Structure 1
Amino acid sequence: MVKQNGSNYDDHQLKSCLVIGGRGFIGRSLVERLLKLGNWIVRVADSTPSPQLLPSESLLSQAFSSGRASYFHVDALNKTQIIEAIEGVPVVFFTDSSGSLPCDFCFCYKTIVQGAKNIVNACQEYKVKRLIYNSSADVVIDSTRDILNGDESLPYPDQFQNMVSDLKAQVEALILSSNDIDGLLTCALRPCNVFGPGDEKLIPLLVNVANSGWAKFIIGSGANQSDFTYVDNVAHALICAEESLDSQMVSVSGKAFFVTNLEPMKFWEFVSLVLDGLGYQRPIVNVPAWVVQYILLLMKLIRMKLNSGKIEDSVSVHYVANLATRTRTFSCSSSRKHIGYSPVVSLEEGVALTVESFSHFARDLPFSNKCNEQSKANKLLGGGKVADILLWRDEKKTFTCFLLLVLLYYWFLLTGRTFISSAANLLLLIISVLSGYHMLPTNIYGFSIPRVSSSCFEISEVDMRESFLTMASLWNSPSHVTRLLAQGRDWSTFLKVSAFLYFFKLIASHSLIKAIGLGLVLAFTLFFVYEQYDEEIDGIVKIVSSRARKATSLMVRKLPMPLTFILPECSKPLKEKGSSQHTLLDSRQ
């Protein structure tokens, strides 16, 4: 008899089970769900010496006190500890955790695969009736192809995307091949992209990327679809699989089943939902996938050279990179039909619960404020169309503008013709293209050819006014500087202008054409880089400016006395030292 909260439970009415990996991400959710059902006595096994309960785990704490739950410290390589935990239970849930293992294949193989062999052997030896293994959809995924609505007929790939997936596939094959041996029935579940409270992989990685400022980038087109599975749904599916095995269903034993939330969506939409909820900027800038692949390849080579790090580090980055560029969706028709699975928590609710559990990672300011706040680079460029182009807001538009400017650069500067000749040839080319386009028929083999409207060649009064205002503004700025220099009152401006003209003379004397080409390239890169590292760059500029001001101040103090009177603005450093013009005049008198 087992007592809980003053009630007596008959041993025949309660089912006993062991949850291996019960303190892991999925194991915690499974243990809590089993206890909530009320008809389970749960043994929790994990590699940590003690359970180390969280404040939110009051249900498990009560279960430990009442005897409905017990804890076993189990090392998968220690057969004695495994036997002690397994002996006497008819059901074993195997939810292994391999996220913090060192990047050593021999050690990982012994821990994951050999440990699984020990568990299977113990289950067979001590007459365990049902073994349910929590595998992963990653066991059928490689990094070279998309999977759209994949089912259980998918084979294991020839080359896995990482070492952990390879080892988990070996464990899954081992457990499924052990079905119906010595009375042990087995099955495996393959959840896809599990997330939820307590997640130590996907959500923390997204937060780290957001904090680094790189979360604003979308790898590839961003159109790839992915399936996600809330952790409580995985726990529910594991229990459904156990009930189906208990019913002696031939269609379940020895089989693997995909488990998802049945709500495939674009990977970057999922990322945006999570980052929005935590107050971070959602991804908005597309980056070509091949660029990221080369960077990851370089990181992999460096890691191989160093031969250090953890699986968690090497797997997570490639895991998210593959998600970001590949379609990974799976059919759950088999799990719905044979084990009676259906999600108990919707994807929207699961994301909301996950965001709430990670509220300690949230930004202080709401995202809406950050979304409206312009970056320094955007303000510097005026926040208009030019800013959108130079900051790569629209990859296609920016690349088109860059290509057009490169062609103009080549046409006017690299062809060796004079400017007037190049302009005349360009106008002739434009007129020829427009004339030829106008002579085309309105329909060619079913494709309609739109006509160019005459309004395309018209300039509105508003545009002309803005153009002249811009030209006036550009003229007024150097005019104001020239007036200051003519008055001889701003020594600092004189030094800046002199330095600028000197460097311009050096550049122009060597190769003005190369300088313009370099400026064209830098215009499309420097502002983009500045937006990503504005704080670091501002810090460097601040240090350089401070030292430049000190040098200028020192230079002014060493000027001849009459020149200092002519330039009163430059005598401010002397005033700060306690000297004034009146004092100097008195001393001279």
Structure 2
Amino acid sequence: MHSCGCGGLEATTGLVVLRLMIVRKREGSREKIKMVEENGSHYDDRQLKTCVVIGGRGFIGRSLVERLLKLGNWIVRVIDSYPSPQILPSESILSQAFSSGRALYFRVDPLNKPQIIKAIEGVPVVFFTDSSGSLPCDFCFCYNIIVQGAKNVVNACRECKVKRLIYNSSADVVIDITRDILNGDESLPYPDQFQDIVASLKAQAEALILSANDIDGLLTCALRPCNVFGPGDEKLIPFLVNVANSGWAKFIIGNGAKQSDFTYVDNVSHALICAEESLDSHMVSVSGKAFFVNNLEPMKFWEFVSLVLDGLGYQRPIFNVPAWVVQYILLLMKLICVKLNNGKLDYSVSVHYVANLAAHTRTFSCSASQKHIGYSPVVSLEEGVALTVESFSHFARDSPFSKYNKSDEQSKAYKLLGSGKVADILLWREEKKTFTCFLLLVLLYYWFFLTGRTFISSAATLLLLIISVLSGYHMLPPNIHGFAIPRVPLSCFEISEVDMRESFLTMASLWNSPSHVTRILAQGSDWSTFLKVSALLYIFRLMVSHSLIIAIGVALVLAFTLFFVYEQYEEEIDGIVKVVSSRVTKEVSKLPMPFSILSRSKPSGSS
């Protein structure tokens, strides 16, 4: 028994020593990574390792490839579906690596397993970063790229005896659209209802890769970064810029207190390399597991948006809108978009995704990734936002590029309103001027309709008030305690001949348009015009029959909202009108021909 006890003690001691060696090896690797990243030194050629980066020309893939090449001890095979690597001018490191042979490019179809096998053959490490950020609105295509592509990669890795497979997943795979997540950890299950189809498919791919762990010698793990941003971002930052240009960025959904985690792209690529080092040490706590990754600096979502927009010269969000109102509006928009796209929905970043993100708290704990893979951010959130804003400087509000990119073509709403001052006011081109005009019209509405006086007495009282103010203003001395009182020039009360002519032309146009429509209706030859006029008159009758005062108030509010909304969603509204118009035209074609047309079509000899 004594000898057995000694043997057990020796075995235990041996396990402890082995674990310490593994930990020291991993820590040593971390120190080497940091030294190389900081000093830019290179490893000896005899220490070079080869890896594959699938999706290497995507947003995260580009950052990972550049980081691996900076380490100096990697030969990188870049795999993507693009015909060529499409090297950017800023990617001088990658260009040099391709020239020296330290980087190789393989064009691979993710649905073609033989091509994948040929690209990864003889390589011990595979980093899998798919390009789910810019997928078209087609479910079958998304499923093939994300899920079927993951199956092909796993099977190819098993056949080629790849030792380590690290998958870049997403924190979206555990997000339930109905609940908040505060400091969530890896024990969170997959939800019953995902926030979009891409998150659902990513969850399937992640589960498939993790279930392949320790089969045929393949070790796998997955990382779940949250809201990745940085230079080259094709989703979040461009979306915020587009929203800012449209004028909607001034609105805050909800109370603005919901927090979110964000991850700078270089921190994601650093975490992927840390995960590979841990798998290389054969750590049981890493293989077959998933880990959350972020910047460890949760902040209010609208605070992050404000930092980005501020840096690019756009207005910060300032007005709060109830979240439930936005959700109902977006649900209606979603149904309309699905209808217009023949049942298909765009899976890229949209206002629906961002609205859901802004209305919920979504923060995750990185304690597991810190403990088991030795992850810690290499770029702070503040520095990451600054670098991102700098990289998107061509989208800044006052940059020449942004002015060049702005279309000179006027919108339909702008043309419909006459392309003048009225259009600028109703479309909120200058917010202060529009708000002033709206406030003035509301005061006039109150003065004429809600004070209880007759219209004539209200007009007379208003004119008396204006005359009294002008007379009192004229009686003021030219200087009061050093402040000069400007005089109102007489030209302000004069109307030029040109203005009078334009006014009469406008009145004539307003008269001629209804008379032309009346002449068409009198001829009885246009059912479409008849139905349009009838519908408008019926709506007007409903409004006036209830209350003329209420109708005018509703018209005032709609004038300052409908045209603005139409300009923002011009294509969607035109699509709806087109669908309705085609249905009406189809039904009208079934109606009997007007009498005037029948009489003209009679043969001349018939009685």
TM-score by length of 2: 0.65
Distance 1:27 1:192 in 2: 16
Q: Residues 521 and 119 (structure 1 numbering): CA distance in 2 closer, same or farther, change over 3 Å? A: same
Q: For structure 2, which runs of at least 5 residues remain unmatched after alignment?
A: 1-40, 401-427, 455-461, 475-489, 508-539, 570-607
**Larger deviation: 524-533 or 349-358?**
524-533
Q: Which residue of 1 aligns with 2:312?
A: 278
**Is 326-335 or 100-109 further displaced after alignment?**
100-109
Counterpart pick for 1:378 among 404, 427, 432: 432
Residue of 198, 212, 222 corresponding to 1:188: 222
**Displacement after TM superposition at 1:329 (Å):** 0.7
Matches within 5 A, 1:37-436: 37-307=71-341, 315-364=349-398, 376-379=430-433, 382=436
Distance 1:89 1:488 in 2: 84
CA contact (8 A) 1:376 1:534 kept: no
Q: 1:182 Cα deviation (Å)?
A: 0.8
Offset from partner CA, 1:63-86 (integer Å, 9 cap, x none): 111111111111111112101111
How far does the alpha carbon of each residue in 1:499-544 deviate from its partner, in whole angstroms, 9 at most, with x for none? 9xxxxxxx9xx989934434545555645678889999xxxxxxxx
Deviation at 1:365, TM superposition (A): 7.0
Give me the whole-angstrom Cα distance separating, in 2, the residues matched to 1:30 and 1:310.
33
Aligned residues: 440
Matches within 5 A, 1:480-491: none
Distance verdict in 2 for CA 1:115–1:519, change over 3 Å:
same
Deviation of 1:129 (Å): 0.7
Contact 1:227–1:328 (8 Å) recurs in 2: yes
**Residue 310 (structure 1) shift:** 7.7
2:236–2:349 Cα contact (<8 Å) kept? no
| CA RMSD after TM alignment | 4.1
The letter for the 2-side match of 1:378 is K
SS at match of 1:99: helix
The answer to whether the 8 A contact 2:267-2:377 is kept is yes
The alpha carbon displacement at 1:101 in A equals 3.0
Does the C-alpha gap of structure 1 residues 512 and 377 become closer, same or farther in structure 2, counting only changes over 3 Å? farther
Which amino acid is 2:179 matched to? R
Give the Å deviation of 1:52: 1.1
Residue identity in the other structure for 1:514: S
1:475 is displaced (CA, Å) by: 4.7
520-529 or 65-74, larger mean C-alpha shift: 520-529
TM-score by length of 1: 0.66
Task: Provide closer, same or farther for how the CA distance between residues 170 and 535 of structure 1 changes in structure 2, counting only shifts above 3 A.
Answer: closer
Q: What is the Cα deviation at residue 289 of structure 1?
A: 1.9
One-letter amino acid of the counterpart of residue 213, structure 1 = G
Please point out which of 547, 566, 591 is paired with 1:514: 547
The CA distance in 2 between the partners of 1:253 and 1:217, in whole Å, is 44
In structure 1, distance between residues paired with 2:568 and 2:352? 28
| C-alpha contact 1:187 1:255 (8 A) present in aligned 2 | yes
What CA distance in whole angstroms lies between the structure 1 residues aligned with 2:298 and 2:494?
70
1:278 deviation in Å? 1.1
Q: 1:8 to 1:231 in 2, by over 3 A?
A: closer
State whether residues 217 and 286 of structure 1, in contact with CA within 8 Å, keep that contact through their aligned partners in structure 2: yes
1:21 to 55, 65, 89: 55
Distance change >3 Å, CA 489–CA 253, structure 1 → 2: closer
> Would the aligned equivalents of 2:312 and 2:393 in 1 still touch at CA under 8 Å?
yes
2:237 is matched by which residue type in structure 1? I
Contact conserved, 2:43 with 2:72, CA < 8 A, in 1?
Answer: no
Tell me which moved more, 105-114 or 204-213: 105-114
The one-letter amino acid of 2:284's match is V
| Counterpart residue type for residue 272 of structure 2 | L
Closer/same/farther in 2, CA of residues 50 and 492 from structure 1, 3 Å limit: closer
Distance 1:379 1:512, change over 3 A: farther
- Aligned mates of 2:96, 2:347 — CA distance in 1: 36
Once residues 494 and 556 of structure 2 are traced to their aligned partners in structure 1, the CA distance between those partners, rounded to angstroms, is: 34
- 1:316 is displaced (CA, Å) by 2.6
CA-to-aligned-CA distance 1:265-314 (integer Å, 9 cap, x gap):
11111111111111111211222222322222222222322335986555
Relative to 1, partners in 2 of residues 1:184 and 1:213: Cα closer, same or farther, differing over 3 Å?
same
Does the CA-based 8 Å contact 2:134-2:234 persist in structure 1? no
Q: What fraction of aligned residue pairs are identical, expressed as a percent?
A: 74
1:376–1:531 CA contact under 8 A, matched in 2: no
Residues 533, 170 of structure 1: alpha-carbon distance in 2 compared, 3 angstrom cutoff: closer
Shift of 1:321: 1.4
**Distance in 2 between the 1:150 and 1:222 partners?**
20
Letter in 2 for 1:138: D
Distance 1:246 1:292, change over 3 A: same
> Kindly tell me: are residues 240 and 163 of structure 1, through their superposed partners in 2, closer, same or farther at Cα, counting changes over 3 Å?
same
Paired with 1:534 and 1:93, the residues of 2 have a C-alpha distance of 44
CA contact (8 A) 1:137 1:192 kept: yes
Does the CA-based 8 Å contact 1:103-1:308 persist in structure 2?
no
**Unaligned runs of at least 5 residues, structure 1:** 1-6, 367-373, 392-401, 420-468, 500-506, 537-589
User: Within 2, Cα distance between the matches of 1:329 and 1:98?
Assistant: 22
Check conservation: 2:312, 2:395, Cα contact below 8 A: yes
The alpha-carbon deviation at position 98 of structure 1 amounts to 2.2
Q: Give the Cα separation in 2 of the matches to 1:261 and 1:247.
A: 25
After superposition, what is the alpha-carbon deviation per residue over 1:105-133, rounded to whole angstroms, capped at 9, x for unaligned?
Answer: 23322222111111101111111111000
Contact 2:235 2:349 in 1 (8 A): no
Give the conservation status (yes or no) of the 8 Å contact 1:279–1:365: no
> Would the aligned equivalents of 1:232 and 1:344 in 2 still touch at CA under 8 Å?
yes
Distance 1:304 1:154 in 2: 31
Preserved CA contact (<8 Å) 1:375 1:531: no
